[in-house]
Chains A and B, each alone.
Chain A
Amino acid sequence: MNPRLVTFSAQVVMLLVVCASLLAHHGNAAYDEEHPITIKGKVTEFVWSNPHCQIYLDVKDQKENVVSWSVESQSPGILRRNGWTRDSIKPADHIAVTLVPAKSGAPVGFSGEKTGKIVFDDGHVLKMDLR
């Protein structure tokens, strides 16, 4: 199955956030930083490690197929200054992750800096501001 995001609709909410100007001036070549999206899914693993924390979650596409996403985030130091701990995200949590997706079309993304955030089902939010 081609996991490209254009095939996602109901469970994968595409938010074409109008913030390209904030992002275009730097960037990791692997990610499409001009087109952030938000995916919703169930956490399978949260890795609290240096230099990159990682979030893994299962996301259903419009055909109810489960796609396993891998998400790169910031370092523990930056996340800690935003109120995170190693237990902030747990397996089975339902979360919405705003990220910039891999240009390759693989279900991989980066959630951090200015656009990245995590929203839980109960409404609480984790951010990744540089501070």
Chain B
Amino acid sequence: MGSVVLAFAFAISARAGGQEKAAKESAAPAPKRDSSGVWLYQGSGGQESTAPEKDMPPMTAWAKARFDTERPGYGTRAVPDGNDAILQCDPAGFPRIMFFPTPFEFVQGSDRIIQFFEREHAWRPIWTDGRSLPKDPDPTWYGYAIGHWEGDYTLVVESSGFNDKTWLGATGYPHSEEMRVTERYQRVDRNTILYNIRVDDPKAYTKPVIGPERIMKLRPGVEIGELPCVWSEENSFTKRIREPAVGKPNR
């Protein structure tokens, strides 16, 4: 019994020491106007969505018609053999790419910041040279993004020009080509970004979609890996695991 108590005390002590070290590191000031590094958001552990379902605003009739055809694999409407397009290796697109449990990297240049995502091995430029969003862009999976610094520590990113083929997250929820996204990456200390996202899409929702404030942590030493959705491998996976898991015969 004594050794158990001792081990427990040691564990508590070690944990306290770890917290102290983490607090000390976190207290290091953030570099000014610098978002560089590999970042990982501290989520639930699995795929998430732009906003929790309970916080989604009312949909328009246009969005509701699309919503009714969705059969996501996560959330309150989850079904085990749904029609999420990423199961066919379609791009997750933006902003859904933000809510996978894999890191991304910011690399800063003089006129742009590039955001590299491990998921899909995808990337997007965020133009910081003062340009405006294009007025009539061709719709794309990842849109067109511009950014500016608000003070020395908050990178504000605005984006538009998205196609309407993607969902806002793993729980489904459509968006239209009119979607505009505003993100705020507030670097509160060296190791921490507070991330806020707002989606304005009047064709789909009667009010903005507001994501909860999320925490992102710097991952020193981590290198972004390669995580493409490889169709041949995904297809093999579907036949050998995904379909048998839901009771379909192994093909």
Measured CB to CB, the residues of A under 8 A from B are 22, 25-31, 47, 49-52, 54, 70-72, 75-78, 80-81, 102-106, 108, 113-114, 130-131
Interface residues on B, range: 35 or more
Among B133-141, B158-166, B243-251, the stretch that binds chain A is B243-251
| 15 A–B contacts from the bound complex (CB under 8 Å) | A26-B170, A27-B78, A28-B78, A30-B81, A50-B227, A51-B234, A54-B237, A54-B240, A71-B241, A72-B242, A72-B245, A75-B225, A78-B102, A104-B246, A104-B247
Judge whether A131 and B219 touch: CB under 8 Å.
yes
Bound-state Cα–Cα, A78 to B119, Å: 11
A49 (CB) vs chain B CBs: closest residue: B233
Judge whether B44 and A25 touch: CB under 8 Å.
yes
Which residues does chain B contribute within 8 Å of A76, judged by CB atoms? 225-227
Say yes or no: is B156 at the interface (Cβ < 8 Å to chain A).
no
Bound-state Cα–Cα, A51 to B231, Å: 9
Among B45-53, B56-64, B107-115, the stretch that binds chain A is B45-53
Which residues does chain B contribute within 8 Å of A131, judged by CB atoms? 40, 219, 222
Say yes or no: is B74 at the interface (Cβ < 8 Å to chain A).
yes
Bound-state Cα–Cα, A70 to B119, Å: 24
Bound-state Cα–Cα, A103 to B40, Å: 30
Which residues does chain A contribute within 8 Å of B80, judged by CB atoms? 28-30, 103-104
CB < 8 Å: which of A26, A54, A103 contacts B45? A26
Bound-state Cα–Cα, A77 to B101, Å: 11
Other than the known A52-B234, A70-B250, what 14 A-B pairs have Cβ atoms closer than 8 Å?
A26-B44, A28-B74, A29-B73, A30-B246, A51-B227, A51-B234, A70-B241, A75-B227, A78-B101, A80-B225, A81-B222, A104-B245, A106-B244, A113-B101
Say yes or no: is B122 at the interface (Cβ < 8 Å to chain A).
no
Chain B interface helix/strand/loop/mixed: loop
Taking the closest CB of chain A, its distance from the CB of B34, in whole angstroms, is 23
Measured CB to CB, the residues of B under 8 A from A are 40, 44-48, 73-74, 78-82, 101-102, 118-119, 170, 219, 222, 224-230, 233-234, 236-237, 240-242, 244-247, 250
Bound-state Cα–Cα, A76 to B80, Å: 24
Which residues does chain B contribute within 8 Å of A113, judged by CB atoms? 45-46, 101
Judge whether B225 and A54 touch: CB under 8 Å.
no
Judge whether B237 and A75 touch: CB under 8 Å.
no
Which residues does chain B contribute within 8 Å of A47, judged by CB atoms? 236
Judge whether A31 and B237 touch: CB under 8 Å.
no
Bound-state Cα–Cα, A78 to B234, Å: 17
Bound-state Cα–Cα, A29 to B250, Å: 19
Bound-state Cα–Cα, A25 to B46, Å: 9
